[in-house]
Amino acid sequence: MDFELTEEQQMVRDMARRFAEEQIKPRAAELDLKHEHPADIVKQMGELKLMGIAVPEEYGGGGMDNVSYVLALIEISKACAGTGTIMSVNNSLYCFPVMKYGTHEQKMKYLVPCASGEKIGCYGLTEANAGSDPASMRTSAVRDGNEWIINGEKKFITNGNVASYAVIAAVTAKGKGYKGISSFVVDLENTPGFRVGRVEEKLGINASGTAELIFEDARVPEDALLGNPEEGFKQMLTTLDGGRIGIAAQAVGIGRSVLEEALEYAKTREQFGKPISSFQAIQWKLADMATELDAAELLTLRAAWLEDNGKPYEKAAAMAKMYASDATMRASIEGIQILGGYGYCKEYPMERHMRDAKICQIYEGTNEIMRIVIARNLLKGS
């Protein structure tokens, strides 16, 4: 078993680390406070090929692998989880399904702008009554001549307030439940009948916008259909498997910041005449954090490696996402405990890390759903 990174993977990680430390980390607190979309940072990330890392170069991407994607996303999320979310959704939830299921013409039209970072993509699945249960989806698409008419509202869509393109899940065969869902790739800037609804005020990841997408008799061309009709649910599952690897990487990045900051504080904070790092209670907290975060990173890299090598990765992705997000949430709570009163104040970034960590247990499949996915795979022997 070889744990050594390739030269290219090391270069991608180191490049992302330098960029994150120099350009993102100094602005992370301000982006969080102002709920500001970091447009200039995202543009630079596009130039560095971080917005479409695993997309072939002919379609505007970096032509690299998913292990490189994980390594880069950890570094970006370590500096600012909200910026990491923007990168994750563009790569995993938008570029991936267009790349996997789109025609060459669709890829040239819809993939190149987002993989290159010129534009931003999003993924419209969740609705007010359809989160973990996509069969309850109400957004519909009806064929009308050489067009599709889309009606419905999507909820909690990451990048929805700034996206130019979206992959939208809609019901095209009523009464069939999840078997009646299809996927469409939509040019949001040029689709009459589409508008952005409410932009949410959130607990964390505030550099990343979360919005409603509203379609009212929105007309899209016939060739907006992604793949075959009524195959949207299968596409959705595969897309979310990859997305969960991205969320696991995001969680690991947040956790790495927590550990570094807790460790540095413990070395310098003195009580009873000596640094608190000398107390066993603090040492054990740090030891648990480090162990769990290393395990989370290894699970995440394994899932990415399985995807790169064409092996089944649904269970591995669910394990990585569940474990990494739980480990990072535990780490952030203990990080605040180590910093004490300072950890509870905005003078230090630790409270932001805890707010950012929580969403990783919820989006792209709650951790309760992850346990169902893992158990289902175990019971069928995979």
DSSP strands (E only) in 188-290: 194-199, 210-221, 225-226, 270-271, 274-275
Cα separation, 116 vs 118, in Å, equals: 6
Record the tokens describing residue 226, joined without a space.
């992604």
Cα separation, 89 vs 321, in Å, equals: 15
| CA trace torsion 26, 30, 36, 41 (10° rounding) | -10
Record the tokens describing residue 117, joined without a space.
């970072």
Q: Which of 272, 243, 291 is nearest to 85 (CA)?
A: 243
- Active site members: 364
Instruction: Provide the phi-psi class of 34: left if phi over 0, else alpha when psi is between -120 and 50, else beta.
Output: alpha
Cα separation, 25 vs 61, in Å, equals: 25
Q: Which of 229, 169, 172, 163 is nearest to 190 (CA)?
A: 163
